[in-house]
Structure 1
């Protein structure tokens, strides 16, 4: 049923977005049990991912946007992903969105159903999509961008980190720019070279209680502090009055999600070089180096159950404009 819905969406896109060419696209990725395993190159399994690639009319090659989906998955029902795809398409970009969950038997990982394999595996998928697109002659290989919301926003941020790119990309491919909408995230990496070089825009809702800006921004600022090389352009944009999920503009009222939880009180986890240790960093300033196998006990019982979501039309417009402006500037449109 899931495959039917995915490919059925392809036919709907073809019917309503002509003359844009929508076509099936497949590529191979890998599943990793956690970030230490990823950094050590310990592959749990290989997977073939299904995707939808849309090519704009006119002569190519075209700049492209990879859209990473949220923890709710992608089966044609992702309103936030649709807003991002529509904005990029209207601006003349090729787009690709892939399903990270179906081939792995995952449905919705918002409450941690994928365990420690979820985050590193979706990041591996993003880099696999980058490599696959860079080999398509219709795509400008030096103008492939990435964007996403929530878990997808986390993926867009992590795709800017060189330790992950070096492990997951066999050649020199890198994303040209990164747009993260209300990103999740609590992991970082201690490395000699931190960033891949593309500009990054990170957009926060100041009323977000699911992926609290205080914690996520601390993660990003600490990651920036570890960098020894000249840093790329990294901008933080704050939206007052915006909650998590503002791209879901159909959600006019506040929606309470009792099974989802905030990790505001949980430590950030920075993986040391060679994955030999993990550095835990709390928002109150505490730090501690532990063995990677001991991290789990420090994450127990720190989550705060119950979070909210709400769409916001004005913030949606402004944040999508930020994304397109970054892409246009890099692609010199």
Structure 2
């Protein structure tokens, strides 16, 4: 078992079988729990619900749609209705069991019910474990963009049951690697070395370095968010690759896996930094080498720039009409690039779509 502390606020537990012990991290005095799970993980959601009932807690399971279809105001309202129907108070708890979309949704519902009730996250995907469930960002999507409605609401605990990863489809597991590799580029180059040491093993839950990769990525995020919970400065580095990545997700109506979009987004950010004279060409190529070695995409079709630019201008890092990107000066040296020129943007897009 590994435990990563996020400041003095909560712990992230990385252990086989820890999803069976949610009751152990629930505060004394909690009477009710709402277990939010995707329809595709009904068995695990009901198992967690049953374990809570066995511990004396009045627990209810709430199935929600899979993937980004869960992150809507309609689904959130349905969950609020359940909380109201069952009389949830501020001393009760919401439990998110699922991938990043479910932990985002469960956290948002907990943040907004009675202006904030506790949430415990049980991420079941690699992406959820190393990114979405850690850090307290919650949110839902709107027609205008991803995560534009949300709140900062740190969980009481995060339980990463690595056994669950063995049932994850390979494509989803590989997509989650994008966030781990991102952590390597912005803070911890050892991650990049571990992936390069055996790329094929990195794509499997039973790989030689799997636990170390997960723990290192979580430690990167935990260290950043403990210093900057509300993304006033430092936390923005965690958005490396996300400005262009979120734009891809938006124009494709969230049919593209988040990690795949972020992988392409990192290439765009690297090419943009190179076009702006900030990043050396060999580091750009290192991006392509590492990402392609595990099967992540690094290119995007041409002809969609107008849609992508419109979506990027709705990004949370944009200020007024000025686009802002997280880029690298070198590996583990992230900086902001504010107001890149149209020529630089088009050069980066051409490099990604060429």
**Bigger Rg over Cα:** 2
> TM-score band (shorter)?
0.3 to 0.5
Judging by fraction of residues, say which structure has more strand. 1
TM-score computed with the length of structure 1 as normaliser:
0.37
Judging by fraction of residues, say which structure has more helix. 2
TM-score computed with the length of structure 2 as normaliser:
0.35
